[in-house]
Amino acid sequence: MAETPDVDIIIPTWNRRALVTAAVQSALAQEGPRTRVTVVDDGGTDGTAAALRARFGGRIAVLEKPNGGLSSARNHGLAATSASLVSFLDDDDLLLPGKVAVQARFLAGHPEYDGCVGGGYLRTHPGGHTELVEVPDCAMECAMLLAQNPGPPLAFLWRREAILRAGGFDETLPSVEDWDLWLRCARVGRVHGVPHRGYVYELRAGNMSRDHERMLACTTAVFDRHAGHVRLTDRERRRLRCRHRVKFVRRFYDAGDDARAAALFRECLAESEYALRLLPAGYLRRFLRLTALPPGLAGLAPGSARHALRAALRQFAAGDAPGGRRILRALTGLAPVRAPRP
C-alpha cells in the first residue's frame, strides 16, 4: 500500500487577526498524514503575525512579506514549503475533520491523478444561511472545470509538482485566480472528485466574492483564456460563456442594481438566445419592466417588451432562428430592425 505523504496547508492572511485563528485551529485539527501549517501575513498592520506566534508557538510557521495580494501570498507560501501535497486555506474558512486525510489517501492510492476536490458547505453572512456543495465521484476533465469551478481553494488537495508545473497562481488576476489555476492544472494533468464534505467556505460582506463587477470581468477573461484549449463548437462556447455571465445578471439584480443587470443581460442575449433559458422568470420580468420597446418592433408585436419577447420565442419555436434573433437584436437595442420581407 502506498504511504500517505506529508501535506502543507498554506493560509494567506491580511489584517484578519480576529478570523485567522479559527482557520489555523481547523488546520491543526486534521488527523492522518503529517500536516504542516504555514501562515503568510501579506503585509498586515493589525499584529496578526505576532498574535499567531504567541498563541501557537512552534506548532505553525508564520511568514511575513510586503503586501502583494492573495495570489502573491499563496505563491510565497508555496515557495517556502516542501511537502509533496499542498492545500490552500483562506483565513476566514474552515477545514472539517478528516478532510485532508480522505483526500491524501485518495492521491496515495491513485498516483495517476495530480489533484482531487471534495464537497463542503457554503455559509453566507450575515444570516448564516448554509448551502451544500457536492462534487461527483469521477475524473474532472478540463471541459467540466470550464463549465463550473467545482469549489474554492480549500476544497482541493494538489500534488506540489502539479501546481509548480502549471506556474502557480496568476498574480495579475484580482479574483477567480483559483479557477484559472485549476484549469491550467487540468490542461497538463488530471483531477478527480472525492465526494467527502470537508470544508466550510464563508461568504462575508467584505470578501472578494461579493465584488460582482470585478468578478464578472475576471470570470469572462479566464473563460476566454481557456475556452480555446477545450474542444467545443462555437455554439457550445457561446452558450457556456453566456451561462457564466448570466449568473452575474442575477447577482446584480439581487444587489438592487437593475440597470447594470439589464445592460449585462442585453449583452448576453446578443451573444446567444440561450440566455433566455438561464434567467429565472422573476428576474426576466424585472428586465422586461425596464426595457422599452424599440419603434422598429411595432409591426411585430403589441407595444410591450414582453410581447416582443414572446414573438421572438415563437419564432424560435417555429424553427425561424434568424427571425427570432432579429427581434432580440432590436429588443436589446444592439442593431436596427429591418422590415420583414413580404
Q: What is the pLDDT along the chain (342 residues), one digit of tens a residue?
A: 444 459 999 999 999 999 999 999 999 999 989 999 999 999 999 999 999 999 999 999 999 999 999 999 999 999 999 999 999 999 999 999 999 999 999 999 999 999 999 999 988 766 778 899 999 999 999 999 999 999 999 999 999 999 999 999 999 999 999 999 999 999 999 999 999 999 999 887 655 556 899 999 999 999 999 999 999 999 999 999 999 999 999 999 999 999 999 899 888 887 887 888 898 878 877 877 666 544 444 444 444 566 667 777 677 667 777 877 777 767 665 443 343 343
**Among 158, 180, 210, residue at a domain's last position:** 210
**Among 183, 210, 237, residue at a domain's last position:** 210
Note whether 64 and 172 are same-domain residues: yes
231: domain range? 220-331
Note whether 282 and 315 are same-domain residues: yes
DSSP H stretches of helix in the chain = 17-28, 48-56, 70-80, 99-109, 142-147, 160-166, 177-188, 212-227, 234-254, 258-271, 275-278, 281-289, 305-317, 321-331
CA distances from 202 to 46, 149, 197, 210, 293 (A): 21, 16, 15, 11, 42
Note whether 110 and 71 are same-domain residues: yes
Note whether 227 and 202 are same-domain residues: no
Note whether 233 and 101 are same-domain residues: no
3-state helix, strand and coil shares in percent for the chain, rounded to the nearest 5: 50, 15, 35
- Domain count across the chain: 2
Note whether 252 and 114 are same-domain residues: no
**Among 210, 229, 249, residue at a domain's last position:** 210
Query: Whole-model pTM?
Result: 0.84
Cα torsion 331, 335, 278, 201: sign: negative
- On whether residue 181 sits in a domain, the answer given is yes
- On whether residue 338 sits in a domain, the answer given is no
- On whether residue 341 sits in a domain, the answer given is no
Note whether 130 and 247 are same-domain residues: no
Note whether 200 and 240 are same-domain residues: no
- On whether residue 342 sits in a domain, the answer given is no
User: How many Cβ atoms from other residues are within 10 Å of residue 79's Cβ?
Assistant: 11
- On whether residue 159 sits in a domain, the answer given is yes
In the numeric block, the cell 500534488 is attached to 159
Residue 341: phi and psi, rounded to 5, are -70, 145
